[in-house]
Amino acid sequence: MSLTPNNENVAPVFTASVSIHSGTLPSPETVERYEMIMPGTFDRILTLAEKEQESKIKLNHDTLDIVANREKSISTSVLCGLTFGFVSVILIVPLYFGALGLTIWFDNLTMFGAIAGAGVIAGLPALVRSFQNVAKRQK
Protein backbone atom coordinates (compact mmCIF):
# COMPACT_ATOMS: atom_id res chain seq x y z
CA MET A 1 0.00 0.00 0.00
CA SER A 2 1.31 3.44 -0.99
CA LEU A 3 1.18 6.50 1.22
CA THR A 4 0.24 8.70 -1.73
CA PRO A 5 -2.83 7.89 -3.69
CA ASN A 6 -2.25 7.37 -7.41
CA ASN A 7 -4.63 10.09 -8.44
CA GLU A 8 -2.83 12.92 -6.55
CA ASN A 9 0.07 14.84 -8.06
CA VAL A 10 3.32 14.79 -6.12
CA ALA A 11 4.79 18.22 -5.41
CA PRO A 12 7.94 18.92 -7.41
CA VAL A 13 11.26 18.91 -5.55
CA PHE A 14 13.51 21.97 -5.92
CA THR A 15 17.22 22.05 -5.30
CA ALA A 16 19.45 25.04 -4.76
CA SER A 17 23.18 25.42 -4.61
CA VAL A 18 25.18 28.07 -2.85
CA SER A 19 28.73 29.03 -3.70
CA ILE A 20 30.79 30.96 -1.20
CA HIS A 21 34.06 32.59 -2.12
CA SER A 22 36.25 34.63 0.19
CA GLY A 23 39.19 36.73 -0.74
CA THR A 24 40.11 40.04 -2.30
CA LEU A 25 39.33 38.92 -5.83
CA PRO A 26 36.06 37.36 -7.01
CA SER A 27 35.84 33.72 -8.03
CA PRO A 28 36.88 32.79 -11.59
CA GLU A 29 33.26 32.11 -12.57
CA THR A 30 32.23 35.59 -11.40
CA VAL A 31 35.16 37.18 -13.23
CA GLU A 32 34.14 35.36 -16.40
CA ARG A 33 30.59 36.70 -16.12
CA TYR A 34 31.85 40.23 -15.45
CA GLU A 35 34.07 40.08 -18.52
CA MET A 36 31.18 38.87 -20.69
CA ILE A 37 29.04 41.83 -19.59
CA MET A 38 31.76 44.48 -19.56
CA PRO A 39 35.21 43.65 -20.97
CA GLY A 40 38.13 45.02 -18.94
CA THR A 41 36.32 44.73 -15.60
CA PHE A 42 38.82 42.25 -14.19
CA ASP A 43 41.73 44.61 -14.91
CA ARG A 44 39.91 47.33 -12.99
CA ILE A 45 39.25 44.94 -10.09
CA LEU A 46 42.95 43.96 -10.06
CA THR A 47 43.99 47.62 -10.03
CA LEU A 48 41.69 48.32 -7.08
CA ALA A 49 43.04 45.29 -5.19
CA GLU A 50 46.63 46.41 -5.83
CA LYS A 51 45.86 49.95 -4.61
CA GLU A 52 44.21 48.55 -1.49
CA GLN A 53 47.27 46.37 -0.80
CA GLU A 54 49.63 49.34 -1.28
CA SER A 55 47.47 51.38 1.10
CA LYS A 56 47.63 48.67 3.78
CA ILE A 57 51.42 48.37 3.40
CA LYS A 58 51.84 52.16 3.68
CA LEU A 59 49.60 52.23 6.76
CA ASN A 60 51.69 49.48 8.39
CA HIS A 61 54.93 51.34 7.59
CA ASP A 62 53.51 54.59 8.98
CA THR A 63 52.42 52.82 12.16
CA LEU A 64 55.87 51.26 12.57
CA ASP A 65 57.51 54.66 12.04
CA ILE A 66 55.29 56.22 14.72
CA VAL A 67 56.13 53.45 17.19
CA ALA A 68 59.86 53.69 16.41
CA ASN A 69 59.87 57.48 16.86
CA ARG A 70 57.96 57.18 20.14
CA GLU A 71 60.42 54.57 21.43
CA LYS A 72 63.31 56.82 20.37
CA SER A 73 61.85 59.83 22.20
CA ILE A 74 61.21 57.71 25.31
CA SER A 75 64.79 56.42 25.30
CA THR A 76 66.08 59.97 24.83
CA SER A 77 64.00 61.15 27.79
CA VAL A 78 65.25 58.27 29.93
CA LEU A 79 68.85 59.04 28.97
CA CYS A 80 68.37 62.71 29.89
CA GLY A 81 66.85 61.72 33.23
CA LEU A 82 69.68 59.30 34.00
CA THR A 83 72.28 61.91 33.09
CA PHE A 84 70.60 64.54 35.26
CA GLY A 85 70.38 62.10 38.17
CA PHE A 86 74.03 61.10 37.84
CA VAL A 87 75.25 64.70 37.65
CA SER A 88 73.02 65.63 40.58
CA VAL A 89 74.44 62.86 42.73
CA ILE A 90 78.02 63.69 41.74
CA LEU A 91 77.54 67.39 42.55
CA ILE A 92 75.03 67.44 45.39
CA VAL A 93 76.19 64.56 47.60
CA PRO A 94 79.70 65.97 48.18
CA LEU A 95 78.23 69.42 48.83
CA TYR A 96 75.75 67.95 51.29
CA PHE A 97 78.35 66.03 53.24
CA GLY A 98 80.71 69.00 53.02
CA ALA A 99 78.05 71.22 54.57
CA LEU A 100 77.51 68.64 57.33
CA GLY A 101 81.25 68.51 57.93
CA LEU A 102 81.45 72.30 58.20
CA THR A 103 78.65 72.37 60.76
CA ILE A 104 80.55 69.82 62.86
CA TRP A 105 83.81 71.73 62.35
CA PHE A 106 82.25 74.96 63.61
CA ASP A 107 80.32 73.12 66.33
CA ASN A 108 76.92 74.32 65.15
CA LEU A 109 74.54 71.51 66.06
CA THR A 110 71.42 73.49 65.07
CA MET A 111 72.64 73.92 61.52
CA PHE A 112 73.75 70.27 61.46
CA GLY A 113 70.24 69.19 62.46
CA ALA A 114 68.66 71.41 59.82
CA ILE A 115 70.90 70.13 57.02
CA ALA A 116 70.63 66.49 58.09
CA GLY A 117 66.84 66.82 58.46
CA ALA A 118 66.55 68.34 54.98
CA GLY A 119 68.51 65.38 53.59
CA VAL A 120 66.23 62.89 55.33
CA ILE A 121 63.11 64.69 54.09
CA ALA A 122 64.50 64.80 50.54
CA GLY A 123 65.18 61.07 50.65
CA LEU A 124 61.75 60.06 51.97
CA PRO A 125 59.97 59.83 48.59
CA ALA A 126 62.59 57.40 47.27
CA LEU A 127 62.32 55.35 50.45
CA VAL A 128 58.51 55.19 50.18
CA ARG A 129 58.72 54.17 46.49
CA SER A 130 61.15 51.40 47.31
CA PHE A 131 58.79 50.02 49.97
CA GLN A 132 55.90 50.22 47.48
CA ASN A 133 57.92 48.31 44.87
CA VAL A 134 58.76 45.59 47.40
CA ALA A 135 55.07 45.32 48.36
CA LYS A 136 54.05 45.01 44.68
CA ARG A 137 56.59 42.21 44.08
CA GLN A 138 55.29 40.27 47.06
CA LYS A 139 51.71 40.22 45.72
Q: Is 15 part of any domain?
A: no
Q: Is 40 part of any domain?
A: yes
Per-residue pLDDT at 66: 87
Q: Is 6 part of any domain?
A: no
Q: Is 86 part of any domain?
A: yes
Per-residue pLDDT at 74: 81
Q: Is 18 part of any domain?
A: no
**52: Cα within 13 Å, side-chain hemisphere:** 9
Q: Is 7 part of any domain?
A: no
Note the pLDDT tens digit of each residue in 46-70.
999 899 999 999 999 999 888 888 8
- Total domains present in the chain: 1
Phi-psi region of 65 (alpha: psi -120 to 50; beta: other; left: phi over 0): alpha
The answer to whether residue 1 scores a pLDDT higher than 60 is no
- The 8 Å CB, 24+ separation contacts for 81-85 are none
Under DSSP, the state recorded for 15 is: -
Cβ distance 79 to 60 under 8 Å?
A: no
Q: Print the domain residue range for 56.
A: 28-129
Compute the average pLDDT of residues 24-42.
Answer: 88
Q: Is 135 part of any domain?
A: no
Q: Is 23 part of any domain?
A: no
